[in-house]
Amino acid sequence: MKVIEIGHIVAGPTAGLLLSDLGFEVIKVEKPGYGDISRTLTGTSSGAFPFYNRNKKSITIDLKKKEGVEILMNLIKHTDVLIDNLGYGALNSLGLQYEKMVEINSGLIYLTIRGYGEGPYEKRKSLDFPIEVHSGLAYMTGIKDRPMRVGASIIDMSAAMFGVIAVLNAIIERERTGKGKKITIGMFETAEFFMGQHIASYQLIGKDLKPLNEEGFAWGIYDFFSTLDGKKIFIAVTTDDQWKKFCGLFSLDADEFPSNAIRYSNRDKLIPKISDIVSRIPLETITKLLDKENISYSILYKPWDLLNDIHAGSKMIEEKYNGRTLKVPTSPLGNSQLNDPPQLGENTEELLRDLGYNSQDIERFKREHII
């Protein structure tokens, strides 16, 4: 199956990436001479393009020109899925209304990802962090009087995931009806869904919730501890059975705090006591003890530490980008193709020839900056 992706930075490209991992052929449509905005990002965002755009082909088309739109429409004739995350009405303004697309391809499934879904705010432009702020996610993530952004483009990526789920469902429906459909996924609606538990809790307890990092996480032992060799380890003890095993490892009296409710209400006593014990033991010894009783823990890592992690390393692939060899994570879906991120317009001529354009057509398109 074929996918056209008219996307940039994160949301649209994530949807394209996931579909490529499921075996779809993904054709990325980019602006001649510029391409996806993420191609030129620097610093902490410099890895965006190579991460989100492996397994794709790149064609350059100027969609502000009549013949550029005609080329895209010719591509759409032979396409199963069209993705865009350009914002409300962007394709319509170019004369690319969904109604026109389905006239030439009744089975087309069109996924549009934007800041807000249908409703009063549907025309509002937005980005990941503003959506986190509006939805309350930044409030719940931060600390008192300091809302914070999640350390990944989590809303962009999650909106794309919901989009892919909807696309797969639409493909199943198409088997029965023969018709495609338009799917609109809002980033705000995605974040709102994530906040559902907190919205429900507020109504049940009848008062404001504190940010999670102020309130705690409902468990008596669910915290960071420093080891003898200066490492940070997060330990989670969430059941009474785990508590008994934990106490057996560290010579604690399990009957002193027998239930999670008691442990949670006595964190001011319990956490300092465990901190003192852990501070006297090196990390390797701690992890061996916790592994012995299968008690949940994690060593505090930075993302790039995963390059040297024996489990994470097996989930990465190598790709070449701008003369560099990079290791990047695969998606949990697995992967059917492992192609490098495309150079801007790398597949333009190939794809145009597949559509029936000849050498003279292609040379004219170049001269007129249509491709």
Is residue 183 within 8 Å of 166, Cβ to Cβ?
Answer: yes
Residues 6+ apart with CB under 8 A from 353: 362
Alpha-helix residue ranges (DSSP H) falling in 233-299: 240-250, 260-265, 267-278, 283-292
Residue 306 CA to residue 320 CA, distance in Å, equals 19
Task: For residue 297, give the nearest of 202, 213, 232, 218 by alpha carbon.
Answer: 232
Written as six digits, the tokens of 249 are 């490892």
Whether 156 sits among the annotated catalytic residues: the reply is: yes
Backbone angles phi, psi at 256, to 5 degrees: -70, -40
Number of C-beta neighbours around residue 14 at 10 A = 28
Exactly one of 156, 253, 305, 361 is catalytic; name it: 156
The DSSP-derived string for 309-370 is: -HHHHTTEEEEEETTEEEEEEPPTT--S--PPPPPTTTTHHHHHHHTT--HHHHHHHHHTT-
CB atoms within 10 A of CB 10: 25
List b or e across 186-208, with b for residues whose CB sees 16 or more CB atoms inside 10 angstroms.
Answer: bbbbbbbebeeeeeeeeeeeeee
Dihedrals phi, psi of 6, to nearest 5 degrees: -105, 80
| Beta-bridge mates of residue 329 | 316
CA distance 271 to 219: 11
Cα separation of 220 and 6, whole Å?
Answer: 48
Rg over alpha carbons for the chain, rounded to the nearest Å, is 25
State the DSSP H helix or E strand holding residue 235, giving kind and residue range, or none if neither: strand 232-237
Q: Which residues are annotated as catalytic?
A: 156
